[in-house]
Each structure stands twice: as C-alpha cells, then as structure tokens.
Structure 1
Amino acid sequence: MTGTNSQFGLLSTKNSVELQSFPIPVPGPKEVLIKNVAVASNPKDWKYPIWIADYAAIEGNDVAGYIESVGEGVTEFKKGDRVAAFSKMATQENKYGAYQEYTVAPSTTTFPLGPNTSFEDASTLPLAAMTAAIGQFVRLGLPQPPESGFASARDDYATIINGAATNVGAFAVQLAKRAGLHVIGVAGSTSYAKSMGVDELVNYKEENNLESALVKAAKSREVSYAYDCVSENGSILLLARVLSKTSADGKGKVNHILHLADGESKQIPNGIEPVLTWVDTAYGEYVEFAAKYYRLLGRWLDEGSFKPSRVRLVPGGLAGVGEALKELQEGKVHGEKLVYRIAETPQIKARDGK
C-alpha cells in the first residue's frame, strides 16, 4: 500500500473479513475524523453481514483515538484532541466503520477523554453505554442521575435488569444506581454483577423457575420497570409476566434491545408495554440527550465514578477481528469487551517499519 491518502481497513461480508486498502475518509459537516488508537466489538458486528443481503462494508462503531480533522461547523474539537466516539451504524458507508485506521463520526456522539482515561477503556463505552442510557432514561422514563455525584437512594423506583453482567447491562446497573434506583439484577456472573452495584441478584443458572425467583426478589417493593439486555429466548415475555405481578396496578414497561419474536406481542400481559431501544437514535431522535450523556460519561469515567467494561485485548490488532467475532457469534465471550489496538496490526507495523 502506498500513498499518504491510503489506510488499512477490514471489509466484512457474509463469509469473510479481509484487510484491504481504502482511502482515508473526509468528515462532512458536523462530523469529525478520528485517527483510531483502540476500537471495540459489539455483537452487531457479526450479525449485520449475515442479516443484510449482499453486505460488504467496514463494520464496527466503537472507536477511541485522536482528532485528525473536523468538518464544517465543528468548533468543540481540534486536531490532536483525545476522544472516543460512536459512529453511524448500518449505513454500509465505509467511512463510519471502526475496523480501520481512520473513522468518521458525528461530532455529537464524539466526546473528550480526560487524562486518566485510556483509549482501551474508552472504546468500551460508546454503543453499549448509550444503549443503556437511552433505554432507561428515555424509553422507560426512569429518573435521571445528577450530573455530579449520586442521587439519594429512593424506595419509589425499582427496576429489573436482565443480563446485568453483559456490557449493556453493567452500564445500565451503574446508571440506575447513580439515579438512586433499587436494582434487581439477573446474571450468571454474580460477582461481576454485584461489583457494578446490583442490590438483589438472581442467578439464572441456579433457578428452576426464574419468574418466581424474580417476583420473590422484589419482596414488598413495587416493580414496574425492566430492562432486558438479552431480549432472546422468551426473556421479554418472562419479564412482562413478572411486572404484571410486581407492579401495584398491573402496569409497567419492559425495555428490549432486539425485536419481539413472531407472535410474542400478543402474549404480553395487558397493562405491560414493551418498548424497543435502538441506539442509532443517539444521532437521530435523541441527539441532544445523547450529546449530553456522552460528555457526562466521559467525565464520570475519568473521575473514576463510572467503570468501563472489562477489556480483553485481542492480539494482532485488526488481524484478530475475524476470529474474535467468531467467538462472539459462538457465545464464548462473557462479561468482557473485545478491544483491538490498531497499531498492533502486522500489516500496519510492517508499513511503518515497526
């Protein structure tokens, strides 16, 4: 690969991921160009190339690095600033992919990093933490935390978080606790979920009747809200049935991150409303909310009052993405985030003489 306007990127298709040469993209109005230091994976990164017909694009949306340039109308950032960002998803425009040396992202979903925050830790936040924030505070309408410190514990709001040890779930637990909410968590990794702040933990691996266990865990509390960070194998319906028994008037909301399966909507108990969170609303319908919370998350992370996902560094940079995504697809990754250092990609090291 030659030329200063070229870079390495990883093209994903239904059957393969391949490192290729691509032009360095140019940010449009209200966008920034980031020179990536660390990028991270999400389950959608293996799903989209399979789900979308004739898919061929650079995948990934979690990036952290340095501002390389800014588009028209961007005044918050300048070249050299340390940032992390959530890039646009499902566009099949290569410039927004994370698995490359340079990524374009909206300026609103880009946030500054403090001196105490590593690029690797920061790369774990953008997609998962915003999914948690939008789901709880916009879609469920739960009370929001103060911008500084933690809210006092309140007895009038309790929530169930299913998948409390997943990346989205661990962030949801932390945000709920900042808001003073009582959290009933469902997880298999009990120690990790508790370290995030879960008040009552139900280990799904040890329960023959998870529905009864959750009703019991509610005790005398009214529980009208649940966040399903799994949203598979009937979990949305299970949580809806639980809320129909734990809410005072039989009314409640279940937030889910995957669509209901065929026929499931008809099985939801009366009074329980399923609400879907789609994180691309962070640069769409909920752009102002997301811009505010990204900057809060960055600040809290640097203060040490908000924990990143547990980082698992994948050797080989971009060369390790293909096998790592297979692990995600096969369900072998639990309670950790797969992170890649771009500079460790062998082809990049060879090009740069390292």
Structure 2
Amino acid sequence: MTLLERIGLTAPIFQAPMAGVATPALAAAVSEAGGLGALGLGASDSEAARAMIEETRARTDRAFHVNLFVHATPPTDAAREAAWLAALAPAFAEASAEPPEALTSPYTSLAEDNAVLAMLCEERPAVVSFHFGLPEPSHAAALREAGCLLLASVTSPAEALAAERAGMDAVIAQGYEAGGHRGMFDPDAPDDRLSTMALTRLLVRRSTLPVIAAGGIMDGAGIAAALSLGAVAAQLGTAFVACPESAADAGYRAALAGAAADHTIMTRAISGRPARCLANRFTRLGETLPVPVPDYPRAYHAGKALNAAHKAAGEPGYGAQWAGQGAPLARALPAPELMTLLIDELKAV
C-alpha cells in the first residue's frame, strides 16, 4: 500500500502546516478536497493544539496532519540578546514603543513538552510531522504506538538518512525556494542550499522512504514536475496563504498580492533561524544591523514585539510574511476552489 493510500488521499497534494497561518478551516477544506490538510502546532500549548485538532475534526472526517517543532532549546546569552535589543530600539521608537527588557522563548520544543506529546497520543492524528529535527526515540515510539504516521522535513541527503534511521514513514524534501523557516537540523551548519527539484531527485534515488517535494510549488504544473522526479506528493504552503480560510492578516495578503512577492529573501532577523520572507521593512532592517541575531526562538520574542508595535501604528512591514520563491503565482481563491484548480491543472499536464 502506498503512502497516499495509507492516509486515504485522492490527490497528491499536502498543505504545508504554516504555524500561525494555517487554520482548522483551511486544513479541513484541503482534506475534504482529497489532499492532506495540516495544522502547525509548534507555536501552541497542549490546550490550544487540542482545540485546533478538535475543530478540524468537526469540519472533516478525513485525515489531516499536524506539525511540531523539535528545535534544540538555546541557552540564554544575556550580552548578545541585550545588544540585539539595543540595536532594535530605534525601530521600536519609530512606533513609539520600547523593546522588551529581556528575551524569552515563545515556543517550547516537542523534545521538552510532555503535555503536547501526551495530548497527541490521546488525539491520535493520522499524520504527525517534525520540523527542525527529529523526535526523541521514545516520543516517536509513543506516537507510532498511537497509530500516527511520522514525517520529517529534511533539507539534505544526510538529514534524510537520519530520518530513515529514526523510523520515519516519509520525508518532506524542503528545497531552498521554500517559504518560512528552513528546516535544517542545525541552523549553523553549512547549507548546500539544494533546490526542491534537485533534493527531491537525490532523495528518490538515495532513500528508501517516500518523498514529498516542498518549496516553490504553486500550481498543477509544479506538482507534476515533482511527481515526474519520483515524489509521491507535493507540499504547497505559499499557494494557500492567500486563501480566505488562512489566518494571514491584511498586510500580509496585500504584500503577497503586490510587488513584494517578486523579492523574497532568506533572513534570520525575524526569528533567529533562516527563513524565507517577502522583502519588507524588517528584512531590510535585518541586513543593516551590526550585531549578531540571538538564537531561535528567543530572537522571535523581539521580532513579534516589533511587529505588534508597528502593526498597532498602522505599519504592516515588520510582519513575518513568510513566502516561497513562487509567491508571484499565488491565487486568492477559496481553498476548495484552489484545490479543484490544482487537481484540474495536474490532470491537464
């Protein structure tokens, strides 16, 4: 039985989890159309995550997938973090605001969140995926015992091999074109910056696991290209941001529909990890600051606060407007219509 058959899909389309942007309404719509909807739970505590799962199940009885962060928890570097906050102070002042007195971690890694793990084992989502690394062996065993299929985002053949050895059921090949956070296990390691198509083909040839291609794929032709290289499915994120079911705010939607879509950039400034974003005031600021960015996710505390201050003042250009290099191809359609169009385009190819 193929991976898609095990999940019960009729279309080889995965919606990217996109924490903070994906919603139960979006996930359910994609799943109802035959793809695999997704929820990004990495930014949620166990109660909020359970509520999102329950709401999605109220909207669909089809499978969907949930995604968790498994980043290493960084130590506090008070001097480095103070220097970063001082460097951001003028940008805060532009919005008549003050930076936080100190940074904290807004997200807890699954590696240290037993409450989320226990909730997942109770809720038994069909598919659980991991970003930034692999789960502890005991955590993977518990989820597998609960009946969950396990997927890992990888950016290199070496990471794919580690995922295979860890007993993952499939890998998501995240190319350098992809929007949002780069899923590298070690964000400070050398990055070969493999493209989606090159990485997909390498993993199809070298790995025994099914491969889901992710990064820069926006339409049926892109899905077909990934399938022609041996992927079993394609994962699309930016393509769904413009859907009314997503939680993207008005500033994000306007930027995606405008000239900013032609200029994405990989930046650490917003969160502390490399992530592809629409070029905006925050990404430009990040290129000029003379001090090193604190580690993820502690830097994100400052990034979120700076965005909130400017958003309150009517300036949307400090948001985490994650988007892949295919952003100009985004279509602002309801998710069911977009799924129908993607499937029709794929059939036409």
Q: TM-score, normalised by structure 1?
A: 0.31
Structure with a larger share of its residues in helix? 2
Structure with higher Rg: it is 1
- What is the TM-score of this pair, normalised by structure 2? 0.31
Greater share of residues in strand:
1
